């Protein structure tokens, strides 16, 4: 299967300032989250993929098509929702989306129909004849999403889609992104500084730091792997005998303070085995958590360990 995005030794320099430094990576997720602190190179990476900035060296491919050699083919397969307000002035929303559809290659006779459909889909059906200039911030974001999906692209690039949205509109935006992701007809590349948005929508993340990849991991796999880690809070009984018994089952464990135990479960061991051992040793299990790294943990770990920095070298960045 062709990768969604392949980065091959990609470097971008503005003047003498390097923004992306020899970035390598392969992104395959249904929804890929692009994370990083301000100035990490997220937006530059998106702009480079769209052909707005030429790579200084290296290249990138979207669905196997080189972004420099097949720029038009790549852009035909991509829908882009920019971060800032972007629209054509003095035009009703339906005409604006129609123009964008036609420019994407949809014949005029179909473009209007598609524009109506896209606006109904994002929830602007009733307001579609109003000029975009008169829209609220949330409506403008939805209009930008409509123009990004009107031609049915294979990859939708969303740059900070929930910026400045109130909670109901944010929820609507997140739900639309998830619907598109789950529909399976389009892949999503979502750049956001809001970890919650990325966590809710994405199954793969790419963390950038100082123009390097600090982390690239599959959130689904990470979550599955985290199921093996269990944290117990215990009271009373013979705690040392209890943990020895856990060790006898073949599980690794660590004692955290006087009451907590962290256990790495073996495939053959069930949760009921832990309860049985606790009963035998008269230990009360007051709390049992599947300890999973939150996206925030992953992000912070990447920021601490990532190979960014002036003298850093790019790695594959896998956590």
Which positions touch other proteins (CB under 8 A)?
14-17, 47, 50-53, 71-73, 75-76, 78, 80, 82, 84-91, 95, 99-100, 102-108, 110, 114, 116-118, 120-121, 125, 147, 149, 151-154, 179-180, 183, 185-186
How many Å from the N-terminal Cα to the C-terminal Cα in the chain?
23
CB of 104 to other proteins, least distance (A): 5
With respect to other proteins, which residue has the nearer C-beta, 72 or 286? 72
Cα(40)–Cα(317) distance, rounded to whole angstroms? 15
| Among candidate residues 180, 201, 270, 192, the one with its CA nearest the CA of residue 230 | 270
With respect to other proteins, which residue has the nearer C-beta, 192 or 281? 192
Retrieve residue 36's tokens. 């990083």
Retrieve residue 229's tokens. 């880690």
- Reduced to 3 states (helix: H, G, I; strand: E, B; else coil), residue 146 is helix
With respect to other proteins, which residue has the nearer C-beta, 12 or 205? 12
CB of 246 to other proteins, least distance (A): 48
CB of 164 to other proteins, least distance (A): 15
With respect to other proteins, which residue has the nearer C-beta, 161 or 317? 161
Retrieve residue 113's tokens. 């129909």
Retrieve residue 253's tokens. 């464990």
With respect to other proteins, which residue has the nearer C-beta, 96 or 253? 96
State whether the Cα torsion 20-7-43-100 is positive or negative. Answer: positive
Q: What angle do CA 296, 297, 299 make, to 5 degrees?
A: 60
- Reduced to 3 states (helix: H, G, I; strand: E, B; else coil), residue 134 is helix
Cα(166)–Cα(189) distance, rounded to whole angstroms? 22
With respect to other proteins, which residue has the nearer C-beta, 53 or 292? 53
């Amino acid at each position: 299967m062709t990768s969604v995005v392949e980065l091959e030794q990609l470097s971008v320099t503005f003047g003498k300032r390097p923004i992306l430094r020899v970035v390598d990576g392969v992104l395959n997720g249904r929804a890929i989250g692009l994370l990083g602190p301000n100035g990490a190179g997220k937006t530059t990476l998106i702009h480079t993929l769209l052909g707005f900035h030429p790579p200084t060296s290296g290249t990138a491919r979207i669905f196997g098509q080189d972004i420099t050699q097949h720029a038009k083919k790549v852009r035909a397969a991509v829908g882009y929702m920019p971060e800032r307000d972007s629209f054509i002035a003095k035009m009703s929303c339906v005409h604006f989306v129609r123009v964008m559809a036609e420019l994407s290659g949809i014949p005029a006779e179909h473009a209007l129909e598609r524009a109506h459909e896209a606006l109904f889909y994002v929830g602007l059906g009733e307001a579609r004849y109003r000029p975009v200039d008169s829209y609220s911030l949330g409506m403008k974001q939805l209009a930008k999403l409509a123009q990004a999906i009107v031609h049915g692209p294979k990859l939708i690039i969303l740059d900070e889609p929930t910026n400045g949205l109130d909670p109901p509109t944010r929820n609507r935006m997140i739900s639309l992104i998830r619907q598109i992701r789950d529909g399976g007809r389009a892949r999503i590349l979502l750049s956001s500084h809001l970890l919650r948005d990325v966590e809710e929508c994405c199954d793969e993340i790419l963390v950038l730091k100082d123009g390097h990849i600090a982390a690239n991991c599959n959130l689904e796999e990470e979550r599955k792997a985290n199921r093996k880690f269990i944290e117990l809070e215990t009271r009373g009984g013979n705690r040392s005998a209890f943990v020895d018994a856990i060790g006898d089952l073949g599980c690794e464990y660590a004692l955290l303070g006087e009451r907590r135990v962290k256990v790495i479960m073996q495939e053959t061991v069930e949760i009921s085995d832990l309860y049985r051992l606790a009963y035998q040793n008269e230990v009360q299990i007051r709390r049992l958590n599947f300890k999973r790294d939150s996206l925030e943990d992953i992000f912070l770990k990447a920021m601490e360990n990532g190979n960014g920095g002036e003298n850093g070298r790019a790695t594959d960045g896998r956590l």
